Amino acid sequence: MALPAPHRTGRHVARAGPRLAAAACCLALGITACSSDGDAEPEPPTAGTDAPGATAGTGTSAPGTTAMADEEAAVLEAVDGYWRTWLAANDPPDPDHPDLEKYATGAALEQARSETSRKAAEGLATRIPSDSAYGHSLSDPSINGTQSSVTDCAVDDLLQVNTATGVVLNDAVVTELLTINLTKDADQWRVESIDRIQQWQGVNDSCS
């Protein structure tokens, strides 16, 4: 079921996108020549011995790298939470679903409430069919201060159903390339808007 831009239904059930890998640096300690009094040249540090001024071995993440990875994880979780909440708020339609404000703000929150209000008035619901290919594949989180964006390759085969009769009114299948825009407020990332970049009919495995 393809929905009008900029929103689509769904939740993140696929890959969460790439993460930053931390790299540790090894520093070599220079050894000075013999002293003038004829003392023997100092022995170089043996393997496994920490030389003065050297950093620890491999596997240590720089504080900035770890903080960025944690922030990216928080952004991806916010997008995942938005899609889970969107789906829950559309079956049955509930514009006052308590988690909408937790994961959405601005235009995204307004549109989500508008859509669910319309569906409630028209007796419609959005549901996942059996053997569904539906999912959101998130990647490329980009963070700039309190603003962030994520690429979302989404497969939508959701059904629009008349809740009174159970009749399926829309079963179209589409694949969409989306950009999810988020903003951070009070340590919580929220979806602010969704831009549709491209759309294909059916399931497009090359979406990226």
Is residue 160 helix, strand or coil? Answer: strand
Find all residues with CB under 8 Å of 42, minimum gap 6, and list them.
31, 32
Neighbours of 94 (CB within 10 A): 16
Give the per-residue pLDDT at 156. Answer: 96
Q: Measured between alpha carbons, how far is residue 164 from residues 118, 124, 172 in Å?
A: 15, 8, 21
Q: Which two tokens stand for residue 207?
A: 């979406």
Predicted confidence band at 52 (pLDDT cuts at 50, 70, 90)?
A: very low
Give the per-residue pLDDT at 62. Answer: 66
Predicted confidence band at 1 (pLDDT cuts at 50, 70, 90)?
A: low
pLDDT higher than 60, residue 35? no
Domain boundaries, the chain: 63-201
Q: pTM value? A: 0.71
Nearest partner of 144 among 86, 93, 68, 199, judged by Cα: 68
Burial call 50-76: b when 16+ CB within 10 Å, e when fewer: eeeeeeeeeeeeeeeeeebeeebebbb
Higher pLDDT, 12 or 103: 103
**135-180 tens-digit pLDDT:** 999 999 999 999 999 999 999 999 999 999 999 999 999 999 999 9
Cβ atoms of 9 and 91 closer than 8 Å: no
Give the per-residue pLDDT at 3. Answer: 45
**69-117 tens-digit pLDDT:** 999 999 999 999 999 999 999 999 999 999 999 999 999 999 999 999 9
Is residue 100 helix, strand or coil? Answer: helix
Class in CATH terms, 63-201: alpha beta
